[in-house]
Amino acid sequence: MRTREDRGPEMASDNQTATERVASVSQHTDASQLARHIVRLFPATAILLVSLTLTVWAWQIALRRSTEQDEARFSKSVEQTTLALINRLFQYEAALRGLCGLFMASDNVNEAEWDTYLDHLAVERTYPAIRRVFYVRFVEQDYVARFFDDIGPPAAHPLSYRDTYFLVRYANPHDERAQWLGYDLGANAAVREALMYARDTDLPTLSARTTFRADGTNCSVVFCLPVYRFDGPKSFMVEDRRKAIQGWIAATLDVTPMLNDVIGKQTDAVHVSVYDGDDLTDETCLHRCTHPVPEAQCRSTRALSRTTSFDFGTRTWTLRFRADPQFLANSDTLTPRLVLGTGVVTCLLLFGVVWLLTARRAQALALAGRMTSALRESEAWARKLALVAERTNKMAVITNAMGHIEWVNEGFERMTEYARADVVGKSVEQMTRLLGLDKASIRQVTDNIRGARPFETEAVYTAKSGREFWAATSIQPVRDENGQAHHFIIIASDITERKQAEQERAELLLRYQVLLENTPAAIFLKDREGRYTAVNRAALDFMPPGVTDPTGLRDRDIYSRRMCEIFEAEDRLILQEGRTIRKRDRLRLRDERFAEMDVTLAPVRDEHDRIVAMVGLAADITELRRAEKELRAAKEAAEAANSAKSDFVANMSH
């Protein structure tokens, strides 16, 4: 029989030739497969690109239509808000013109008539933006004293010297009347300009944004309407109007309530700011939206913003509109998504159909070639498997369906020291009896082969020389298309060294366990979760009587809450920071006595210096401490006796 050394050069040459042949065939196969894939992908990819282009085009059209709808909706909201604001100003003008009619119809309107008319208007409920309503008299310097004789002493608002004054005769609301009677509205330049323009033009006039010194509040604007004498101006000339003027109806308007009322009803997630004039600054701002949209959130809605203006009286109000992200939340985003999703799905379906048709054609063309080469490949693979089985260190045996051995490899000869001719043709039962298996193991092997069941076992075998060895054996049936076993493959690995290592480990563990259980010191082991994994008998004396096996328990499952908090704090220092704690504690044992303990707590590290657990060692030093105390007491007694003796000797010497 030729040895492995004799066949070595021949095997190396065969392996090298086979490797070169496999590499050449693999390169040729890869190139041909790449070419076939390119040809197969071309029509499907072309259709996919064309359909995706059409899908993107349709999606852009749908997205553009959605954007146009948003812009139209935004423009409608802007127009509705602007018209509503203008109409509201006209409503305020109509209400104030009613007051003008009251004074123009009668030369002697008293305070009771004034209050009755305003109560009938229900100003606070119907016109929430009007904070105060005044009837202002045009008084020249010579008639100021007579004016205050009629209304009483003025409020604490000293008059600056001018030729003419614009003095408040009647005021509303009632609770603020005392502080406003006799107040000179003309002291404010912006209000004075508005009053004079209304007098000269007979038009409703709005003042610029202003603040009155009477109460120090910002009233935003003053709405002015002129009141002429009963006979009225004789012509439309400015001089005639100035001669016929007797006063004004003036209302201080807080623009924010009016705009909130209008904007809150008209807008849909659209914010509005209002400015006096064309200059959009904080100084000209009459109303700023209460919920401004941050700039970062407005990037997607920046295009939906608009600035518009309108004239009322002598002022131009500028409105700045801006949509917030909530506005776009109501947009028609479903249609573009449907178009895009439907298009992508259609593209993928077309791509898949064309790909399948092309693949089917290629598969039909390649089917004959694959069937022809399948047998050659299987034969080559069988030769490779036979080569591997022959060269492996494991024991390999092949039997027929009846369990008779047909072939064994060289590994069988090396492990059992039996030649191939010694076992070929024998049954598995005979082979196992030859290898020294016990009757139970032999029966188990034969039963599984008769039942054609997979089977694994570990047993002790005896070689031809009488050497015993452990082997892990696996028996696997080889089945045909109908599931019938026609062969059995038996693979066995030598596990003698592993079994010896396991036995040595078990003996070492037993010695450690005996040493651990018989040591007088308490020893325990915890994992990183704080669970006890090992505890010796001495450690149980420091646990409550009901705890017999603390394995798997935490401190909170055993001790009181106070002690648990102390133990867990120490565990964190050890397991997280890697500290070693040494301390002396006075602990209570199960027999209700107290013991002085020398405790050491330390981390346990693995080969990578990672903390994987902690160990605790507690030694009872009660007797040692008692001996120390007795020794210390004896020493003190000896020192006292020695001192007394010295004193006695000293006294006797004298």
Pairing of strands 455-462, 405-408: unpaired
Higher pLDDT, 396 or 646: 396
Determine the average pLDDT of the residues in 426-445.
86
pLDDT computed for residue 498 by the predictor: 86
Higher pLDDT, 569 or 326: 569
C-alpha 228/C-alpha 245 separation (Å) is 4
For residue 469, the cross-strand partners are: 461
pLDDT computed for residue 375 by the predictor: 63
* Phi, psi values for residue 347, rounded to 5°: -60, -45
Residue 64 CB contacts under 8 Å (≥ 6 apart), including other chains: none
Residue 300 has pLDDT above 50, yes or no: no
What is the number of other CB atoms lying within 10 angstroms of the CB of residue 625? 15
pLDDT computed for residue 233 by the predictor: 63
Range of the domain at 560: 519-628
Flag whether 297 is in a domain. yes
pLDDT computed for residue 36 by the predictor: 62
pLDDT computed for residue 654 by the predictor: 59
C-alpha 313/C-alpha 200 separation (Å) is 13
Residue 48 corresponds to which tokens in the numbers above? 């996919």
Residue 57 has pLDDT above 50, yes or no: yes
Residue that is last in its domain, among 230, 253, 276: 253
Residue 263 has pLDDT above 70, yes or no: no
- Percent of the chain beyond pLDDT 70? 84
Residue that is last in its domain, among 206, 221, 253: 253
C-alpha 470/C-alpha 459 separation (Å) is 6
pLDDT computed for residue 5 by the predictor: 44
What CA–CA distances, in Å, run from 200 to 193, 220, 227, 251, 315?
Answer: 11, 23, 11, 19, 16
pLDDT computed for residue 367 by the predictor: 78
CB 214 within 8 A of CB 157: yes
- Of the listed ranges 96-100, 166-170, 311-315, 416-420, the least confidently predicted one is 311-315
pLDDT computed for residue 301 by the predictor: 46
pLDDT computed for residue 248 by the predictor: 92
- The one-character DSSP state at 29 is H
Flag whether 405 is in a domain. yes
Phi-psi region of 226 (alpha: psi -120 to 50; beta: other; left: phi over 0): beta
Same-domain check for residues 524 and 620: yes
Domain harbouring 554, CATH code: 3.30.450.20
pLDDT computed for residue 11 by the predictor: 46
Flag whether 4 is in a domain. no
Q: What are the pLDDT digits (tens) for 238-259?
A: 888 888 888 999 998 887 787 7
Same-domain check for residues 186 and 243: yes
- Of the listed ranges 40-44, 143-147, 483-487, 630-634, the least confidently predicted one is 40-44
C-alpha 40/C-alpha 303 separation (Å) is 47
Residue that is last in its domain, among 222, 253, 284: 253
Same-domain check for residues 277 and 243: no
C-alpha 225/C-alpha 206 separation (Å) is 9
Higher pLDDT, 153 or 61: 61
Determine the average pLDDT of the residues in 64-74.
85
User: What's the structural domain count of the chain?
Assistant: 4
Flag whether 292 is in a domain. yes
Instruction: Give residue 598's pLDDT band: very low, low, confident or very high (50, 70, 90).
Output: confident
Reported for 36-45, long-range contacts at CB under 8 A and 24+ positions apart, including other chains, are 36/362, 36/366, 39/362, 40/355, 40/358, 40/359, 40/362, 41/355, 41/358, 43/354, 43/358, 44/351, 44/354, 44/355, 44/358, 45/351
pLDDT computed for residue 382 by the predictor: 53
- Percent of the chain beyond pLDDT 90? 2
Same-domain check for residues 188 and 283: no
Residue 119 corresponds to which tokens in the numbers above? 């109560």
Flag whether 531 is in a domain. yes
Reported for 449-458, long-range contacts at CB under 8 A and 24+ positions apart, including other chains, are 449/399, 449/403, 449/475, 449/488, 450/403, 452/477, 452/479, 452/484, 452/485, 453/477, 458/495
Residue 2 has pLDDT above 60, yes or no: no
CB 446 within 8 A of CB 421: no
Q: What are the pLDDT digits (tens) for 270-286?
A: 788 888 888 888 888 88
Q: What are the pLDDT digits (tens) for 336-346?
A: 888 888 888 88
C-alpha 61/C-alpha 64 separation (Å) is 5
Determine the average pLDDT of the residues in 585-614.
82
For residue 322, the cross-strand partners are: 271, 305
Assessment of whether the complete model's pTM goes beyond 0.85: no
Pairing of strands 315-323, 270-276: antiparallel
Amino acid sitting at position 96:
L
Same-domain check for residues 138 and 200: yes
Q: Which of 147-151, 215-219, 420-424 has the highest mean pLDDT?
A: 420-424
pLDDT computed for residue 249 by the predictor: 92
Domain harbouring 223, CATH code: 3.30.450.350
Same-domain check for residues 246 and 267: no
Using a 10 angstrom Cβ sphere, with 0-12 exposed, 13-18 middle and 19 or more buried, the burial of residue 436 is: middle
Percentage helix, strand, coil, to 5, in the chain?
Answer: 55, 25, 25
Same-domain check for residues 581 and 619: yes
Same-domain check for residues 278 and 198: no
Residue 23 CB contacts under 8 Å (≥ 6 apart), including other chains: none
Instruction: Give residue 3's pLDDT band: very low, low, confident or very high (50, 70, 90).
Output: very low
Q: What are the pLDDT digits (tens) for 103-151?
A: 887 778 888 888 888 888 888 888 888 888 999 998 888 888 888 888 7
Determine the average pLDDT of the residues in 84-106.
86
Higher pLDDT, 279 or 267: 279
Pairing of strands 455-462, 532-535: unpaired
pLDDT computed for residue 224 by the predictor: 92
Higher pLDDT, 550 or 520: 550
Q: What are the pLDDT digits (tens) for 309-325?
A: 988 877 888 988 888 77
Flag whether 35 is in a domain. no
C-alpha 181/C-alpha 155 separation (Å) is 7
Which residue has tokens 């000179």? 184
pLDDT computed for residue 226 by the predictor: 92
**Angle formed at CA 183 by CA 180 and CA 188, multiple of 5 degrees:** 120
Cis upstream peptide for 153 (omega within 30°):
no
Residue 617 has pLDDT above 80, yes or no: yes
* Per-residue three-class SS string for 280-296: CCCCCEEECCCCCCCHH
CB 189 within 8 A of CB 216: no
Q: What are the pLDDT digits (tens) for 445-501?
A: 888 888 888 988 888 888 888 888 888 888 889 888 888 888 888 888 888 888 888
What CA–CA distances, in Å, run from 283 to 188, 215, 218, 274, 314?
Answer: 17, 20, 12, 12, 18
Higher pLDDT, 377 or 71: 71
CB 55 within 8 A of CB 340: yes
- As a whole number, the mean pLDDT across the chain is 80
Flag whether 536 is in a domain. yes
Helix (H, G, I), strand (E, B) or coil at 432: helix
